Amino acid sequence: MRISEAYSAVYPLFSPDLSPASRERHGWDLRRFYVLIGDKEIEEITTKDYQLFRVRSKEAGHSASTTETTLRTVRQTLNACAELGQLQALPFKGRGRRLKRPKPRPATIDELGIFWHATIAATWPRNTPWGRPRDYWRGWGAIAYWTALRLHDLTWTLSMKHVYRDHIELTAEKTGIEHVFPLTDNVRRVLSKYQGDDSQPLFQVCESPNMIRKHLRLICEAAEIRKLIPRNFRQSSITQWTRAGGRAGDLIHGCGMSAVLNAYLDPLEILAEVAPRVVWPFPV
């Protein structure tokens, strides 16, 4: 069996709970690997191939994180092959590339407040259940900040079906992790602006993430602040929840608690206790 065939044939069976997004991402990892080192039989892959991939990946301009993430997917796939009797021995992973410490740049409280007021300059999207473009972007920004949801989950998944009496509950497409977020009066006021179908995604107005990023950039230019991207809202959310309650930031992010504590602690109760201390950067 060649490495290009192994993932679709074996790995999904070994890990059936993978989300569709994760399966697609892992498929791209495998393609990246065999494009650079060749579509070998799985029995022929050695530690030297791992090291060769690291060299060629660096030459191709891939980050160290991309390189090592790709190889982790390759190793997981080969491990699945071994577990199912398709492979006798696994190659040693070799020495990885040096990973740089990420340098997050969360949106500041001041930037978020300025962004809110600058949405008055927004001209897109029109004719949405939010009414004016400014109300769409104020809703998008506020919920992005409160939940730290990734762009796809926020814009193309979240709907009023996920909103309950005292919380929001949604399963992330990328990770399959179930998230809960307490509903406060501020969040309820934001959601009250939405006048659409409960079954439709709240912020789905296009199919392209680039359109969201483009108009987000235009608002920031009008506000004369740095060009924020969706990730900056997510970083700000996790930062502020962490400042307010330590482990709350872990719960918002999704790395959460250990398997043991998951059996005893209620994340919503913990977050609801912390919520009043999380800075709300927008006008009340």
If we measure between CA atoms, which residue out of 196, 197, 150 comes closest to residue 177?
150
Q: What is the pLDDT of residue 259?
A: 65
Q: Which of 244, 242, 240 is nearest to 232 (CA)?
A: 240
Residue 200 per-residue DSSP state: S
pLDDT, mean of each 10-residue run, the chain (284 residues): 86 71 86 95 95 96 95 92 89 91 92 97 95 97 98 96 96 88 97 96 93 96 95 97 92 78 83 97 90
pLDDT tens, residue by residue, 186-222: 999 999 999 999 999 999 999 899 999 999 999 999 9
pLDDT, mean over the chain = 92
pLDDT number for residue 102: 81
Q: Where are the alpha helices (DSSP H) in 60-105?
A: 64-83
Q: Report how far residue 76's alpha carbon sits from residue 182's, in angstroms, rounded to the nearest whole number.
A: 36
- Cβ 176 vs Cβ 22: under 8 Å: yes
